[in-house]
Amino acid sequence: MLVIRSEKIRRLLRIALPFAIMPAIVLLLPLGIQSQYYALVSFIMVLLALLLFLAGFERRDLGTRRMILVSVMTALSVLGRLLPLIKPITALTVLSAMYLGPEAGFLVGALSAVLSNFVMGQGPWTPFQMLAWGLIGLFAGLLAKPLQRSPLLLYTYGMLSGVAYSMLLDIWTTVWTYKEFTLHEYAAAISTAVPLTCLYAVSNLLFLIVLRKPIGDKLSRIRKKYGL
Amino acid sequence: MRDFENMNPAAVTVHLLLTACITIFCMEPFLLGISMLCGIAFFVMRNGRKHIGFHIGAIGMPVLFALLNPLWNQHGTTVLFFINQRAYTAEALFYGCVTGIRLCAVLYWFRSFSDLMTSEKLFYLFRYLSPKLALVFSMTVRNLTLFRQQMQKIRLSQRAVGLYREGHLIDDIRGELRIFSILLTWALENGIITANSMAARGYGLGKRTSFTYFRWHAGDFALLICTLLLSGAVICGIAKGVTEWQFYPVCAPALRNLPYFAVLAAYTLLALLPLICEGKEALTWKRLQSEI
């Protein structure tokens, strides 16, 4: 991360990472590395994916206003994560993505994960959480139009993203506990996490039902008023 | 020379992450033991007798882990006793101990990492990646306290208006939702005002520099180079299978040859680096005091 001060190297990184470094790791994996380093490799891949997205962020012109709104929504969802048991991060990420766009959604998800982990505890799982929440936001942003139109679809998306979040993090649990990845062990990890998955899905649904109208209205009003 | 906390955050991050990652991805009991001892020593050196609760949790949980592993895990040949006709094997107990030590070591290293890495330092690291992102990051951190204060203000004024009944659950929930809604409106408008004032002052027009008080001194470079060399050696050794242990069905330790001891020595040195930095600083302080 240290040398990326100059614009040239940043650009190089944006091209080299997805087209050279990441495929190379995937191809070399079965050749050189034993299965027990799956955990390490998956950790590195997730870090690289995040690095790629965040390095690309600099180039895009998100607009000052949208950028500030991202920081506002992130702060709100971090505050919300301090609630006991049920966490509104997913709901807030999805709602901000719907009205502020896919990139803003990714940022709200990923940044809330890092920031709230200052309280909840940082660890090797932080990049995975960042990626999981970031992707939930990204896809919500891409599906913005249909999600805004139909609440039913939004609720389904919320519940599915709870399940997807849990399954993505279970990949990490599996490689971390067993040092390898087989479908059998992955299934075991998923089945032990069923109560948590249900909790995620239900809390996402509840928060979306409660927050959809007020937050959606406010965000779309701000968008209309200031022409974002 | 400064103590470990005041070294350049980038060097500190690289060191702590490499030390912790090697611990995570290695199953060599002696290496894990060294890692755990150094992690605990570093934590105690920085905190003294504080955080007893963390110690209890961080040491108690692995012990529980070690004792429970044989209940789930039926591998291993040396049966110690039976519980409900399920064998409780020495190998599984040993494996549980090793995993427990690994967990304990990782907990201590990451706790120290969280303590050392204030958001200011993380901001410094983000800055290299993308100045824009670093700005969003630092504004969010500022927003956290701002929103909390604003929430308190809103709550007080809502109470003053008389919108709460004492000890009424439904009323409380509705009140909190109303406070959240007011806070959201305020936060969004406030954000837009901030953005406007930033734009008015010329944000986004040209290239900007940002202030930071972290610099690279000779000591930081020394720490970074030592870290990279030592961890490189350890990772090479681990990748070559020098530290390969067999746990099931019978426990068989790694071959005790020169590379094995070299890996252990390199890792010991790596894990001792923060302690050396802190210790040197403490010694200098003592000496200066005694000379007065």
A72 and B187 within 8 Å at the Cβ level: the answer is yes
- Looking at the DSSP bridge assignments, the partners of residue B79 are B89
pLDDT higher at B147 or A49: B147
Angle, helices A89-100/A126-142, rounded to nearest 10 degrees: 40
How far off is chain A from B161, nearest CA to CA, in Å?
A: 22
> What's the token pair of residue A112?
């809330």
pLDDT (tens digit per residue) in A77-121: 888 877 766 778 899 999 999 998 888 888 899 888 888 877 676
pLDDT reading at A36 higher than 80: no
Q: Report which residue type is found at A174.
A: T
How far off is chain A from B117, nearest CA to CA, in Å?
A: 9
Spatial distance between the Cα atoms of B67 and B58, rounded to a whole number of angstroms: 15
Nearest to A39 among B20, B25, B119 (CB): B25
B25 and A65 within 8 Å at the Cβ level: the answer is no
Residue with tokens 């500030």: A68
3-state secondary structure at position B51: coil
Nearest to B198 among A64, A78, A114 (CB): A64
Nearest to B25 among A2, A40, A69 (CB): A40
pLDDT (tens digit per residue) in B121-145: 877 877 766 777 778 888 888 898 8
Q: Write out chain A residues lying below 8 Å of B208, CB-based.
A: none
For A207, which residue in chain B has the nearest alpha carbon? B177
How far off is chain B from A4, nearest CA to CA, in Å?
A: 6
Spatial distance between the Cα atoms of A122 and B103, rounded to a whole number of angstroms: 14
Q: Write out chain A residues lying below 8 Å of B184, CB-based.
A: 76, 214-215, 218
- Looking at the DSSP bridge assignments, the partners of residue B246 are B252
Q: Pick the range with the lowest mean pLDDT from A107-116, A138-147, A182-191, B253-262.
A: A182-191
Multiple choice CATH, A63-226, 3.30.360.10, 2.40.160.10, 1.10.1760.20, 3.40.50.10190 = 1.10.1760.20
Spatial distance between the Cα atoms of B113 and B95, rounded to a whole number of angstroms: 27
Q: How many CB atoms lie within 10 A of CB A226?
A: 15
3-state secondary structure at position B164: coil
CA atoms within 13 A on the CB side of B59: 10
> What's the token pair of residue B80?
């110690």
**ipTM (interface predicted TM):** 0.77
A64 and B187 within 8 Å at the Cβ level: the answer is no
C-beta separation of A147 from A140 below 8 A = yes
User: Which pLDDT value is given to residue A26?
Assistant: 59
Nearest to B136 by CA among A131, A62, A222: A62
Spatial distance between the Cα atoms of A150 and A216, rounded to a whole number of angstroms: 12
B184 and A4 within 8 Å at the Cβ level: the answer is no
> What's the token pair of residue B186?
């305020």
pLDDT band at A2 (very low <50, low <70, confident <90, very high): very low
- Looking at the DSSP bridge assignments, the partners of residue B88 are B81
User: Which pLDDT value is given to residue A5?
Assistant: 55
How far off is chain B from A139, nearest CA to CA, in Å?
A: 20
User: Which pLDDT value is given to residue A3?
Assistant: 37
User: Which pLDDT value is given to residue B103?
Assistant: 84
Burial class (CB in 10 A: 0-12, 13-18, 19+), B114: middle
Give percent of chain A with pLDDT exceeding 90: 21
User: Which pLDDT value is given to residue B229?
Assistant: 94
User: Which pLDDT value is given to residue A154?
Assistant: 93
Q: How many CB atoms lie within 10 A of CB A54?
A: 21
Cis check: omega of the bond before A146, within 30 degrees of 0: no
Q: Rounded to the nearest 5 degrees, what angle is found at the Cα of B113, between the Cα atoms of A70 and A170?
A: 65
How far off is chain A from B291, nearest CA to CA, in Å?
A: 41
Nearest to B191 among A62, A69, A118 (CB): A69
Spatial distance between the Cα atoms of A104 and A95, rounded to a whole number of angstroms: 11
Burial class (CB in 10 A: 0-12, 13-18, 19+), B85: exposed
Q: Report which residue type is found at A173.
A: T
Nearest to B158 by CA among B180, B137, B138, B143: B180
B192 and A78 within 8 Å at the Cβ level: the answer is no
- B contact test, residue of A34, A42, A64, A226 with most B CBs within 10 A: A64
C-beta separation of B26 from B238 below 8 A = yes
How far off is chain A from B25, nearest CA to CA, in Å?
A: 7
In chain A, where the domains are located: 1-62, 63-226
Nearest to A71 among B122, B136, B199 (CB): B136
A118 and B119 within 8 Å at the Cβ level: the answer is yes
Q: Write out chain B residues lying below 8 Å of A107, CB-based.
A: 133, 136
Q: How many CB atoms lie within 10 A of CB B247?
A: 18
The CA distances from residue B118 to A76, A209, B52, in Å, are 20, 36, 22
pLDDT (tens digit per residue) in A151-160: 999 999 999 9
Q: Write out chain B residues lying below 8 Å of A210, CB-based.
A: 177
C-beta separation of A70 from A100 below 8 A = yes
User: Which pLDDT value is given to residue B228?
Assistant: 93
Spatial distance between the Cα atoms of B59 and B90, rounded to a whole number of angstroms: 21
> What's the token pair of residue A4?
């990326």
Spatial distance between the Cα atoms of B192 and B33, rounded to a whole number of angstroms: 53
Spatial distance between the Cα atoms of B145 and A99, rounded to a whole number of angstroms: 25
